[in-house]
Structure 1
């Protein structure tokens, strides 16, 4: 599926990772691995649930210092092994509407690049204000730190 980015509502992180797409994919799709890198330290990610199929669950709980625990659950929309993973918190498992959400869809793209991976993470928001709030919360720094943790973990596999 092709996608047109909307600069008013989308944020994008692009990184060149040392590990090949197969290892990066494992870090995104195996709960025990995702828990190790998904949020910037010192945040702890736990209780990861991934049902890797369209309509399946993608859920985590993050323990955030001085803020408590935050649980997020969403629905996987697309799965193209080692290339593309799309999920949203706008829907729950089984494509069921949710009452409340942060309001975004994540598109994770992986392309072979030499012996590594061209990695793109796109966060699509409902409104420009939500995009701005995510940017102001530190999207680039937070998602960038998590991508560095992902790269370091994938290199050990």
Structure 2
């Protein structure tokens, strides 16, 4: 039931780590607003609709693991259509692993776990398969384009 997505990005592992763990950088490719406290137990809050911080967000989510620059794990809340299913009780978990490649790129592996076997969660899981694929493509495009603050160390 785990979602696993992987990509190789032609960028330094430390730069990619910063792209995930700095509020000003994650807003360049993932969500338009963010509050991240880069430490275990710190906030990992993304706001996909900054005008309404009650919807389409991960408010209240925290970083579960912060092993710089190798593993980042955080709680995850689903978007509004799946909020009733995903955002009550035990949240799902996303783990992102960063592994330098010999060619200077970095392999990013994303694992989204905690899915229960209910019809509503199966629908939410299917939605997230495409969402994570798109998100990683956005990160890759942003990092490899040489545009924006992410290209600069």
Per-residue CA shift, 1:60-88, capped at 9, x if unaligned? 11139xxx941212011111112110111
Q: Where is the strand percentage greater, Structure 1 or Structure 2?
A: 1
Q: Where is the helix percentage greater, Structure 1 or Structure 2?
A: 2
Q: Provide structure 1 residue ranges, at least 5 long, that are not aligned to the other structure.
A: 1-7, 39-44, 91-98
Say if 1:89 and 1:102, in contact at 8 Å, map to a contact too.
no
Task: Report SS of the residue matched to 1:153.
Answer: helix
Question: What is the CA distance between 1:53 and its match in structure 2?
Answer: 1.0
Are positions 1:146 and 2:135 aligned together? Answer: yes
Mapping 1:13-32, distance limit 5 Å: 13-32=5-24
CA distance in 2, matches of 1:146, 1:89: 14
Match of 1:125 in 2: 114
Match of 2:88 in 1: 100
- Taking structure 1 as the reference length, what is the TM-score of the superposition? 0.73
Are positions 1:86 and 2:40 aligned together? Answer: no
Q: Which runs of 4+ in 1 moved over 4 A?
A: none
When the two chains are superposed, the root-mean-square deviation of aligned CA atoms in Å is: 2.5
Aligned partner of 2:125 among 127, 135, 156 = 135
Task: Report SS of the residue matched to 1:119.
Answer: strand
Q: Provide structure 2 residue ranges, at least 5 long, that are not aligned to the other structure.
A: 78-86
Match of 1:53 in 2: 39
